[in-house]
Amino acid sequence: MEITSGAISTDYIVIGSGVAGLRAAIELSRAGKVLVITKDRATESSTEYAQGGVAVALSDEDEIGFHLKDTLAAGDGLCNEENVRILVTEGPERIRELISWGAQFDRDGVRLAFTREAAHSKRRILHANGDSTGREIERALLAKVKATDNIKKYDYSITVDLIVRDGQARGALVWREREKKLTAIYAKAVVLATGGLGQVFQRTTNPEVATGDGFAIAYRAGATLTDMEFVQFHPTSLYVPRAPQFLLSEAMRGEGALLVNVHGERFMPGYHARAELAPRDVVSRAIVSEMLKTKSEHVYLDLRHLDAGFVRNRFPRIYSTCLKFDIDITEDMIPVSPAAHYMMGGVWTDKDGGTDIPGLYAAGEVACTGVHGANRLASNSLLEGIVFGARAGIAAAAHGLKKPVPRKDAVSYAAADTAKGDLLKIRSQLRRLMWREVGIIRSGESLRRAIDTIDGWRTLWDSGPLSRPWLELKNMLTAGELISRAALARKGSVGAHYRTDYKARGRGWERHISFKRD
C-alpha cells in the first residue's frame, strides 16, 4: 500500500525536544522559523530524567584544565581532544547563560553548590532540587522557547525518514500519530537531536521514547555513524521485580554511599583503588562479577551510615520514588543492578554539529562529537547537549542562509500490514537478546548470535504498518545491528566495551569504527 503525504515548509527543523534540541532551536529562531518535532509530549526525553547534575568548571577549587584532564582520562584514549576542549571551555559561559534564563541550581547560601561524582578530581557537579537537574534545565529551556515567537512544536509526531535531495538534507517525512497523517516537511536545514537508544536493551534507565530513532534515520539517509560499540551501562538502577528501572544517581556514591553484595560485604575496594568512585564501566563489571559469585540478581547500595536528613534533602526524588516500593533509603539498603544508560557513539559530527550530509546537523546523545571517547565522564552529557546544541543551531542557521527552501513535493511511502502483537513480541525478544548477548560483557560468539538473530527479522525493516510501534521497532533493529557489528569489529577491550575473548586493548585500538550505508 502506498501512502502519499501532504507537504509544508519551514525555515528549520529540529527533531527532538531534549536539552540539545531546545538549545539548537533557540539559536535557529534568530535566523528564521523553527519547527521542533517530537514523537511524544515535548518534555518526554532523557533530559527530564537526568538526576546527577551538570559538570562544569565554575567552583573556586576547579579549573578548565582539570575538567579537560578528567574527561580525557575517562574516555580511555579515544576522545576528540579538540572537541573536549570546546566542551569544557564554553561550558561555563553556557551555564551562566542558562542561569540568566531562569535555571535555578542548588546553592549554599548565595554560592552555587557543587558535588563530586565518580572519576572527577574536583567537586564540579551542579544540581537542582537535589536530584532533578535535567528537569530544571528542561523547564528553563522550554520557558525560553515559549517566549520565542519563531518556534513552533509538533508533538506526538514521529520522523519516518529524512528527505535527501541531490545529496543534501532538505527536510523530514513525519507521521502524525494522532491524526494518522503523513507530512513531508521541507526546510533549509535539519538538526537531529533525538536522544539515545537505551530501549534496545532489556534493562535501561532511559525513557520509553529512547528507541534509537535518530541513529537509524541518519544511517538510512547515508550519514556516517561511529563508535557504536561504546554503550555505557549505569551501575546502579533500582532492582525491584516489575518496578521501573529507576536510576539511582552516581551522586549518591559521590556523597558516600557504599556498594555491598547480598551477604552485606563491601566489594569495590577489591576491584579498583577508587572503590565506589571508580569509572562507571569498572563499577558495572564489578557488580556483575559479585552477582555471579553470589548467584544473585542484584547487589545493594547502602546510605544508612549517612545523616537521614541530609539524604532526604539531597535526593528527594529518589527518596520518594523508593518509598513507593517500600524502601526507605535512610533505613534500608537499596537493591540495584546495572542498566543500559548512554550511547557514547552516534552520528559523526564536526565541532559545529555538521554531519557528512550537507544541511544535516546533530547534537546531544544521538551525535558523536568524540567528547566522551570510549567512556563518558559522569554529568558531561547535559553540558554536551547545551554546548553543542548551541553550536549546531548557529551552524545550521548559517548554512540555511545560503540555501533556499526547496519546492514542496508530496512523498509516497510503502506500508504493509503486520499485527501489533507481533511487533511487541519481536521488540521484547530483541531487548532480551541485546541484554544477553551485547550487554556489559561480550564475546565474538555472543555478538555473532545477536547479528544472526537480528538478520532473521530483516523483512520487518522494509515494510510494515505506518505506525509508531513499527517505526520504533524498525529503528531499534537497525541500532541493535550497528552496535553488535561495531562490537564484533573491535577485537579488544576499551572503556565501556569489554570482550571476554579479547581482554587486552588489542592492535589498532586507537582507531574509530564507522559505518555508512552501502
**Does the domain formed by 234-338 have CATH 3.90.700.10?**
yes
Nearest of 50, 100, 47, 92 to residue 67 by alpha carbon = 92
Domain spans of the chain, in order of start: 234-338, 416-515
Cell of 233: 551501562
Cβ atoms of 359 and 349 closer than 8 Å: no
The pLDDT assigned to 53 comes to 87
Q: Which of 66-80, 269-283, 285-299 has the lowest mean pLDDT?
A: 269-283
**What's the angle, vertex CA 125, arms to CA 122 and CA 129, rounded to 5?**
145
The pLDDT assigned to 50 comes to 46
pLDDT tens-place string over residues 40-96: 876 554 444 445 589 999 999 999 999 999 999 999 999 999 999 999 999 999 999
The Cα–Cα gap between 290 and 507 comes to 30
The pLDDT assigned to 402 comes to 78
Nearest of 98, 104, 68 to residue 86 by alpha carbon = 68
> For residue 1, is pLDDT > 70?
no
**Where would I find the beta strands (DSSP E) of 214-262?**
225-226, 231-238, 258-260
Cβ atoms of 37 and 159 closer than 8 Å: yes
**Where would I find the beta strands (DSSP E) of 371-508?**
412-414
pLDDT tens-place string over residues 128-186: 886 678 889 999 999 999 999 899 999 999 999 999 999 999 999 999 988 899 999 99
Question: How does DSSP classify residue 439?
Answer: S
Cβ atoms of 300 and 239 closer than 8 Å: no
- 416-515 and 234-338 share a CATH fold: no
pLDDT tens-place string over residues 448-465: 999 999 999 987 767 778
The pLDDT assigned to 131 comes to 66
Residue 152 exposed, middle or buried by CB count within 10 Å (0-12, 13-18, 19+): middle
The pLDDT assigned to 117 comes to 80
pLDDT tens-place string over residues 328-341: 999 999 999 999 99
**pTM of the predicted protein model:** 0.92
The pLDDT assigned to 43 comes to 58
Average pLDDT over all residues of the chain: 92
Cβ atoms of 24 and 390 closer than 8 Å: yes
pLDDT band, residue 275 (cuts 50/70/90): very high
Please give the residue that has the higher pLDDT: either 107 or 4. Answer: 107
> For residue 20, is pLDDT > 80?
yes
% of the chain surpassing 70 pLDDT = 96
> For residue 219, is pLDDT > 80?
yes
The Cα–Cα gap between 3 and 223 comes to 26
Pick the CATH number of 416-515 from 3.40.47.10, 3.60.150.10, 1.20.58.100, 3.90.1150.10: 1.20.58.100
pLDDT band, residue 350 (cuts 50/70/90): very high
Cβ atoms of 51 and 251 closer than 8 Å: yes
Cell of 504: 587486552
Q: Known catalytic residues?
A: 280
3-state helix, strand, coil in the chain (%, to 5): 35, 20, 45
The Cα–Cα gap between 461 and 454 comes to 10
Please give the residue that has the higher pLDDT: either 499 or 462. Answer: 499
Amino acid of residue 221: A
Cell of 331: 533505613
The 10 Å Cβ neighbour count of residue 188 is 26
Average pLDDT over residues 7-21: 95
